[in-house]
Amino acid sequence: MNILPQAAEPLDAGSTAEIYSPYHHFSADEWAKFRADTPLTLKADEIARLRSLDDPIDIDEVRRIYLSLSRLLSTHVEASQLLYQQRNRFLSLSDVTKTPFIIGIAGSVAVGKSTTARILKELLARWPSSPKVDLITTDGFLYPNAVLQRDNLMDRKGFPESYDIGAILRFLSAIKAGEPNVRAPRYSHLTYDVLPNEHTLVDRPDILIFEGINVLQSRALPADGKIVPIVSDFFDFSIYIDADEDQIHNWYVQRFMRLRETAFRDPTSFFKKYAAIDATAAQAVAEGLWENINLRNLRQNILPTRPRADLILRKGRNHFIEKVSLRKL
């Protein structure tokens, strides 16, 4: 069923790039109309609990952006289930384990991926069909700090080479195969490291949200034509959270300075040394981390994956969505 009306005219209808764009583009107000009669199942206090530090998302933003997104995803899930059933009939398969619907969420550090993932998880789990929805982030699939230090990769933490891609592919393959109690490694943002021997069990969800900065990464194609899987091969739908580089920079530095007053003061925090220096020195540290690590990762690895997403949520000031781009079918 096609739930979307005729696409709005591109912002610059005369632009060749817009005419041949693979996306329909909508303003936030245009997008909000697609929610139709989708009920708002989250309360203001629940949204406040789900949002990340310095992310001002509120009930109006959920109503304006996320209800339409929830409705769109419901049609994709239903279509995927129907296709799965039809494929099984075609192949004369009678006893087949269900295949979870996997949603990938990508975007820069500090852009608000975690808030989007948590809001979506709660909305999807409250559909009338009450699907089982799980959320896993890629942080646990980072190599432990000891390995990164050994390989001189601590300054490239978050870059593609700092992740155990094999472990990610094995995890997603097991999820898609419908295996029970698949283990996902856990990560502590306090200690800034993978938690040894700690795992989250993912037991045959209807929907899995898989969130991380580089989940839409591709890789070089093999010259011999052999199958080389990539993470996004397992996604049924993908979302990229986008914003101007300067705005993400501001959000990153603001968050660092807020954490300096809160989590960094914990004696077990990896970053506790930054709570002991003055504000000017801390600001300089935040700027250095942004310039030398996070900005480089954004430009080299994360932003180039944006065109691979099915949906792009473009943020403006204060983290509110200003534009939505949906890939054409």
Let me know if residue 323 belongs to a domain.
yes
Place of tokens 């397992």: 234
Kindly state whether residue 6 falls inside one of the protein's structural domains.
no
Is 48 marked within a binding site? Answer: no
Q: Is 96 annotated as a binding residue?
A: no
Task: Find the DSSP H helices in 151-237.
Answer: 165-176
Phi first, then psi, for residue 221 (nearest 5°) are: -80, 140
Q: Is residue 304 part of a domain?
A: yes
272 marked among binding-site residues = no
**Per the annotation, does 316 bind a ligand?**
no
pLDDT tens across 273-309, in order?
A: 999 999 999 999 999 999 999 999 999 999 999 999 9
Cα within 13 Å of Cα(59), Cβ side: 8
Give, as one character, the DSSP assignment of residue 238: E
Q: Is 110 annotated as a binding residue?
A: yes
Q: Residue 91 domain-assigned?
A: yes
Question: Per the domain annotation, does 295 fall within a domain?
Answer: yes
Per-residue DSSP letter, 266: S
Q: Has residue 7 been placed in a domain?
A: no
Q: What span, in angstroms and rounded, lies between the C-alpha atoms of 120 and 207? A: 11
Which phi and psi (to 5°) does residue 70 adopt?
-60, -40
Query: Which domain range does residue 161 map to?
Result: 16-327
Query: Which residues have CB under 8 Å from 239's CB, separation 6+?
Result: 103, 104, 105, 106, 116, 309, 310, 311, 312, 313
How many independent structural domains does the chain possess? 1
Tell me if 59 is assigned to some domain: yes
Among the residues of 231-323, which ranges form H helices? 245-261, 279-289, 295-297
Q: Is 288 annotated in some ligand binding site?
A: no
Q: What is the pLDDT of residues 33-54, one digit of tens each?
A: 999 999 999 999 999 999 887 7
Helix (H, G, I), strand (E, B) or coil at 286: helix
Q: Residue 18: its pLDDT value, please?
A: 67
Ranges in the chain, pLDDT < 50: 1-14
**Residue 239 domain-assigned (yes or no):** yes
Task: State the Cα–Cα distance between residues 160 and 298, nearest whole angstrom.
Answer: 11
- The reply, when asked if residue 36 is annotated as ligand binding, is no
CATH number of the domain where residue 68 is located? 3.40.50.300
pLDDT score of 16:
62
